[in-house]
Amino acid sequence: PQRTLVLVKPDGVRRRLSGEVLRRIEAKGYTLVAAELRVAPTELLEEHYAEHAGKPFLPALVEFMHSGPVLAAVVEGYRVIEGFRSLAGATDPTVAAPGTIRGDLAHDVGSPLIENVVHGSDSPESAAREIALWFPSL
Ligand code: ATP
């Protein structure tokens, strides 16, 4: 089966939402393969967000992602990449559909950076790249 990288971002960990996110993933029927709480080094975060290199919000995004621990997890299941993105909802939490993680648990707090609780890989190529980056031993 397919694997994806899920991150509960520092806003989600600070707001005690890690368990709620894992609960939704497991309730959906997906399998946790690995999970670890850690403060990610900025070098790792710059690699992780390589597709955003040069974008104006990248430095703030890296600083935010480094501001506290993230819960990094590898989640497995048939079509899990698409399935988790559907669980997560739209990037802007103000308009993310109710029923989704972002739609139920977050709103735009007016910071220049979008704080939206979770990250999920967006394609098989990003999933492979991100899992190798965060869990090199897998
Ligand atoms: P993620 O990759 O975190 O699952 P996503 O795929 O919905 O989210 P991306 O476009 O990959 O969104 O952006 C990565 C993250 O960068 C977003 O989740 C958000 O936190 C932040 N971000 C994206 N676009 C902006 C923006 N225009 N202004 C501020 N922050 C942004």
Residue 57 near ligand 1, beta carbon < 6 Å: yes
Active-site positions read 119
Q: Tokens 């040069």 label which residue?
A: 54
Residue nearest to atom 21 of ligand 1 (CA): 114
pLDDT of 119 reads 98
Dmax (CA) for the chain in angstroms is 39
Distances (CA, A) of 46 to 49, 52, 95: 5, 9, 27
| pLDDT for the residue 112 | 87
| Low-confidence spans in the chain with pLDDT less than 50 | none
Taking the CB of residue 63, how many other CB atoms lie within 10 A of it? Answer: 12
Q: Does CATH number 3.30.70.141 belong to domain 2-134? A: yes
d(C-alpha 108, C-alpha 5), whole Å: 24
Q: Which residues are annotated as a binding site?
A: 9, 57, 85, 91, 102, 116
pLDDT of residue 5: 98
DSSP-assigned beta bridge partners for residue 7:
72, 119
The domains of the chain are located at 2-134
How large is the ipTM?
Answer: 0.88
| Index of the ligand 1 atom closest to the CA of residue 90 | 7
